[in-house]
Amino acid sequence: MTIYQNLIGGEWIGSDATENINPSDTNEVVGLYADGSAEDTKNAIAAAKAAFPAWSRSGIWERHVILKKAGDEIMARKDELGALLAREEGKTLPEAIGETIRASQIFEFFAGEALRLAGEVIPSVRPNIGVEITRDPLGVIGIITPWNFPIAIPAWKIAPALCYGNTVVFKPAELVPACSWAIVDILHRAGLPKGVLNLVMGKGSVVGQAMLDSPDVSGITFTGSTGTGRRVAAASLEHNRKFQLEMGGKNPMVVLDDADLDVAVEAAANSGFFSTGQRCTASSRLIVTEGIHDKFVAALTAKLETLVVDNALKAGTHIGPVVDEKQLKTDTDYIEIGRQEGAKLAFGGELISRETPGFYLQPTLFTEATNEMRISREEIFGPVVSLIRVKDYEEALATANDTPFGLSSGIATTSLKHATHFKRNAEAGMVMVNLPTAGVDFHVPFGGRKGSSYGPREQGKYAAEFYTTVKTSYTLA
Ligand code: NDP
């Protein structure tokens, strides 16, 4: 079997490899992907450092052309790359193709941003002096990504890093190297100079750690768990390095008595269970007022009955498998915790067997949960949702905000007054009205507050805040 190698200083290298396994069919090896060492990571950082002076001064048209070419190739290959994504991560084929299209759109967006780079000219408070405010690239950016969006998250970090003139060392999650390898290959062939983008696949504890420990990495952008995020923060402070963290969520969706029941059920089913609940923006807490509670539970469980859990590549599958055995154990452990805490298992909770051996779990809904239970406070990252009954809007809002996280927050209501009040008062980076908490646009800011995120927002033009540093120049006329 071919070994997909690491790209270091423009050369494909690496002979040690790890198997990438399909969670929908654990007999299938998706491919063999290089297992990089700390030495490989140091070499990649050195290559990125050497490539930085020239790339940071490269013309904006060159950057535009390369990013545009990459976006076009990803779009042209959306079905093939989507199938690869579904095979390595387990989201359904339509979800995977949708994510691939989004990756392409992100490259298109930043291809445009490269042409829109600008600064400001401002008069000085002193006579005969001009002031210019410009943005410089940071230098070498370390990119560390999780397994749940194997192509979109790498795209939304690599595209702005390159657009603003940085060079990159990229370490994808060990579970999902295939899409990362594919987009690095596409960018390499699109004409990036040697060393501008380096790929080091391998273990977080080895490759990721070597990035954290390097004084030559000027910025680290990380998406993943809270625990690893804290390590990135501590190491970055030690090196006086800029860092950006996107971590977990325990996103609430409030359903008020006046909600359109169909809209509320669609939003809850989508954001709680699609992508197997493995989205940082998933609604894992449904907060429902008394008047609609019983109707909503009946309609949601009826909807869950119709959802097909099966092989991600099979037509008609709504929910693919859990990503791996470790995550499956986390999910089933929390289902047991929910039972012991006294929540009522209203739907699901069981493992399922399918034609192909995989990590299949029923969508699981706990009702009669409280916001104090561990299943309502800790991120599970699976298709397991707590439903909490509340008296009225005021209690719903207080419950929604009573969480260590603050990524996305939703409300289903036909009341303009409550929708407006909720948008103003939800303690979250993103607020959704009559929409799922998951599913966001690619051209606007993404990120959260409290324990969910740290540092500037990602995506859209706000991405410049992280990938550049502001310079103020004064000139005597
Ligand atoms: P992890 O934190 O385990 O891994 C994220 C990345 O960090 C992986 O590439 C991992 O490598 C790497 N890593 C692990 N250890 C180290 C280390 N010591 N130094 C540097 N890098 C390291 O998270 P998961 O990949 O398991 O993703 C799931 C979690 O991510 C969930 O908790 C979820 O909430 C969160 N998440 C948040 C998102 C957001 O936008 N807020 C989006 C997606 C996920 P390796 O794969 O080799 O372990």
> Separation of 225 CA from ligand 1 center, angstroms?
5
> Separation of 425 CA from ligand 1 center, angstroms?
30
Q: Is 381 in the pocket of ligand 1 (CB under 6 A)?
A: yes
- Residue 47 clears pLDDT 90, i.e. is over it: yes
Contact 144, 223 (CB under 8 A): yes
Tell which atom from ligand 1 comes closest to the C-alpha of 247.
Answer: 41
CATH class of this structure's domain 3-247+452-476: alpha beta
Active site (annotated) includes residue 280: yes
- Residue 188 clears pLDDT 90, i.e. is over it: yes
Tokens linked to 155: 């795209």
Q: Is 228 in the pocket of ligand 1 (CB under 6 A)?
A: yes
Map out the domains of the chain as residue ranges: 3-247+452-476, 251-433
Q: Is 382 in the pocket of ligand 1 (CB under 6 A)?
A: no
Tell which atom from ligand 1 comes closest to the C-alpha of 211.
Answer: 20
Residue 333's contacts (CB-CB under 8 Å, 6 or more residues apart) are none
> Separation of 390 CA from ligand 1 center, angstroms?
34
Q: Is 147 in the pocket of ligand 1 (CB under 6 A)?
A: yes
Residue of 89, 174, 246, 458 marked catalytic? 246
User: What is the chain's length?
Assistant: 477
Q: Taking the chain, what is the end-to-end CA distance rounded to the nearest angstrom? A: 66
**Confidence band of 419 (pLDDT split at 50, 70, 90):** very high
Q: Is 110 in the pocket of ligand 1 (CB under 6 A)?
A: no
Nearest residue by C-alpha to atom 36 in ligand 1: 224
Contact 56, 166 (CB under 8 A): yes
- pLDDT tens-digit series, residues 307-340: 999 999 999 999 999 999 999 999 999 999 999 9
> Separation of 171 CA from ligand 1 center, angstroms?
11
The Cα–Cα gap between 245 and 144 comes to 10
Phi, psi of 349 (to 5 degrees): 95, -10
Which residue among 228, 244, 328, 331 has the greatest number of ligand 1 atoms within 8 angstroms of its CB, and so is best to mutate? 228
Closest CA to 273 of 320, 313, 325, 207: 320
> Separation of 179 CA from ligand 1 center, angstroms?
16
Q: Is 208 in the pocket of ligand 1 (CB under 6 A)?
A: yes
The Cα–Cα gap between 29 and 147 comes to 17
The Cα–Cα gap between 290 and 255 comes to 10
From 3.40.50.300, 3.40.50.410, 3.90.1170.50, 3.40.309.10, which CATH number describes the 251-433 domain?
3.40.309.10
Tell which atom from ligand 1 comes closest to the C-alpha of 145.
Answer: 9
- pLDDT tens-digit series, residues 357-368: 999 999 999 999
Tell which atom from ligand 1 comes closest to the C-alpha of 227.
Answer: 2
User: What dihedral angle (degrees, nearest 10) is formed by the CA atoms of 176, 178, 184, 190?
Assistant: -150
DSSP three-state, residue 135: strand
Residue of 280, 379, 458, 465 marked catalytic? 280
Contact 135, 164 (CB under 8 A): yes
How are beta strands 17-22 and 25-34 bridged, if at all? antiparallel
Q: For the chain, percent helix, then strand, then coil, each to nearest 5?
A: 45, 25, 35
Active site (annotated) includes residue 179: no
The pLDDT of residue 15: 82
Across residues 215-238, what is the average pLDDT?
97
- Residue 345 clears pLDDT 90, i.e. is over it: yes
Q: Is 5 in the pocket of ligand 1 (CB under 6 A)?
A: no
Please spell the DSSP secondary structure of 303-323, one letter per residue. HHHHPPB--TTSTT-SB---S
Instruction: Kindly give the residue spans of alpha helices, DSSP state H, lying in 146-217.
Output: 152-163, 177-189, 209-213
Closest CA to 53 of 139, 164, 158, 163: 139
Nearest residue by C-alpha to atom 10 in ligand 1: 204
Which residue among 225, 403, 458 has the greatest number of ligand 1 atoms within 8 angstroms of its CB, and so is best to mutate? 225
- pLDDT tens-digit series, residues 440-465: 999 999 999 999 999 999 999 999 99
Residue 80's contacts (CB-CB under 8 Å, 6 or more residues apart) are none
Residue 42's contacts (CB-CB under 8 Å, 6 or more residues apart) are 210, 214
> Separation of 224 CA from ligand 1 center, angstroms?
3
Q: Is 280 in the pocket of ligand 1 (CB under 6 A)?
A: yes
**Confidence band of 477 (pLDDT split at 50, 70, 90):** confident
Q: How high does pLDDT run on average in the chain?
A: 97
The pLDDT of residue 18: 94
Q: Is 144 in the pocket of ligand 1 (CB under 6 A)?
A: yes
Q: Is 278 in the pocket of ligand 1 (CB under 6 A)?
A: no
> Separation of 145 CA from ligand 1 center, angstroms?
6
DSSP three-state, residue 72: helix
The Cα–Cα gap between 363 and 305 comes to 9
Instruction: Kindly give the residue spans of alpha helices, DSSP state H, lying in 244-373.
Output: 261-273, 290-306, 325-341
- pLDDT tens-digit series, residues 363-400: 999 999 999 999 999 999 999 999 999 999 999 999 99
The Cα–Cα gap between 63 and 55 comes to 9
